[in-house]
Amino acid sequence: VGILDASTLGKIDIKGPDAAEFLSRVYTNSFLTLACGKCRYGVMLKEDGMIFDDGVCACLDPNHYLMFTTTGGAAQVLAWLELWRQTEWPELRVYCTSVTDHWGTITLSGPDSRRVLEAVCAGIDLDNDNFPFMEWRDAIIAGVDARIFRISFTGELSFEINMPAHHARHIWEALMDSGEPYDITPYGTETMHVLRAEKGFMIVGQDTDGSMTPYDMGLGWVVNKSKEFSFLGKRSLDRSHMLRKDRKQFIGLKTIEGSKMLPEGGQLIFDPEEQIPMSMQGHVTSSYYSPNLNKSIALAIVKSGKKMKGRKLIVPMESKNINVTVTDSVFYDKDNKRLNA
């Protein structure tokens, strides 16, 4: 079991009779059907159809939602929401408030995370049948009122705990004490990045570059395709440029030499003997050594990437070329058995 201080995640409190309608316009999927106590993953696009931010949004009550954004995107997401709320949709009765620094956030991840949390949590059943993935619950943790979100960016069984910021240290120390029998270990964002890469979870701004659509990133399932449903960026997704067969797509890479690490930003080519300028097929967006798999893994965007699986590519380096094979972007636990444990 590991414990992470995730307090820097952006958090925006959204209230009002039209809150669900507002969210359904700024995300690519509908929030009109999201029930209280449940969470939903969403992707935001700019008007050009390119991914702008992503995150989980929870329904606290019918007119009250809590939106989680990327850490670096919190301020610009709030500005984006206010731009549309004030200038384009002033008829919507909805109010947005930044609460990033109001809430401390602690994430427990791993097979023993449920046992650690049970030891300090009162009045709530954490069993998978009563508290499934993508739901949230009010709880009292170490004597403090808190919210527990059953969401995961590591691919492991995880509980994300929100508490008033001034109680964060108290709850952290209580969890460390209850986790001592399980060798609880604090971990940081670098470890989290390795874990999410094993699961093929993208990071906006690292695996995207302002030119990627949800379809490019394998997120077509999060786009509502109903003709009656409209959201920011929807019209742009039907432009001819967006429908090209050779668009760059999100894929995984395995090095032929399992221990060889790829450089992030490294270009991908077919033929190292090709005359300059070479035909670049894409580039490496994330690269790590995976202790779970005991080899290096990488994520990349490659032209027609989904059709390239099994193909060999080359990352040209100054001293030596690195041979790679295009794979699926999910390297570990494809059936989500650990996440749904």
Residues 159-197 have pLDDT tens digits of 999 999 999 999 999 999 999 999 999 999 999 999 999
With 90 as the cut, is the pLDDT of residue 315 above it?
Answer: yes
The confidence score (pLDDT) of residue 271 equals 84
Beta partners for 192?
A: none
> E strands, 210-281, where?
248-255, 267-268
User: Max alpha carbon distance in the chain (Å)?
Assistant: 68
Tell me the H-state helices in 84-144. 113-118
pLDDT band at 273 (very low <50, low <70, confident <90, very high): confident
Poorest-pLDDT segment among 30-34, 56-60, 242-246, 257-261: 257-261
DSSP H/E element including 196: helix 189-198
DSSP character string of 213-232:
-TTTTT-GGGS---TT---T
Partners of 297 in the β-ladder: 288
Q: Judging by DSSP bridges, how do beta strands 248-255 and 322-327 pair with one another?
A: antiparallel
The mean pLDDT of the chain is 95
Above 80 in pLDDT, residue 16? yes
Whether the per-residue pLDDT at 234 is higher than 80: the answer is yes
- As a whole number, mean pLDDT of residues 21-31 equals 97
Question: 134 burial class (0-12, 13-18, 19+ CB within 10 angstroms)?
Answer: middle
Residue 320 has pLDDT above 90, yes or no: no
pLDDT for position 277: 80
Confidence band (pLDDT; 50, 70, 90) for 272?
A: confident
61 — pLDDT class (breaks 50, 70, 90):
very high
Residue 83's CB is within 10 A of a number of other CB atoms, namely 10
Q: Report pLDDT for 63.
A: 96
- The confidence band for 18, taking pLDDT boundaries of 50, 70 and 90, is very high
Distance CA 119, CA 142 (A): 9
Among 52-61, 256-265, 266-275, 276-285, the range with the most confident prediction by mean pLDDT is 52-61
Average pLDDT over residues 280-309: 95
- In degrees, rounded to 5, the angle at the alpha carbon of residue 57 between the alpha carbons of residues 60 and 130 is 60
Q: Which residue has the higher pLDDT, 150 or 272?
A: 150
Rg (CA), the chain: 21
Q: Are 184 and 111 in contact (CB under 8 A)?
A: no
Q: Under a CB-based contact definition with an 8 Å cutoff, are residues 148 and 117 in contact?
A: yes
The strand order across the sheet containing 121-122 reads 121-122, 136-141, 144-149, 158-164, 103-109, 2-5, 185-186
pLDDT at 276: 77
Dihedral through CA 206, CA 207, CA 209, CA 212, nearest 10?
-160
Number of Cβ within 10 Å of residue 76's Cβ equals 14
- Model confidence pLDDT, tens digit, residues 108-155: 999 999 999 999 998 899 999 999 999 999 999 999 999 999 999 999
* Strand 312-315 versus strand 322-327 pairing type: antiparallel
Average pLDDT over residues 74-80: 97
Element (H, E) at 80: helix 74-83
pLDDT at 329 over 80: yes
Is the Cα torsion angle 111, 117, 118, 123 positive or negative in sign?
negative
Where is 109: in which H helix or E strand? Answer: strand 103-109
Q: How far apart are CA 162 and CA 156, in angstroms?
A: 19
Rounded-to-10 torsion of CA 160, 102, 222, 333:
-20
For residues 23 and 67, the answer to whether their CB atoms sit within 8 Å is: yes
State the Cα angle at 71 between 81 and 198, rounded to 5°. Answer: 120
277: number of Cβ within 10 Å:
6
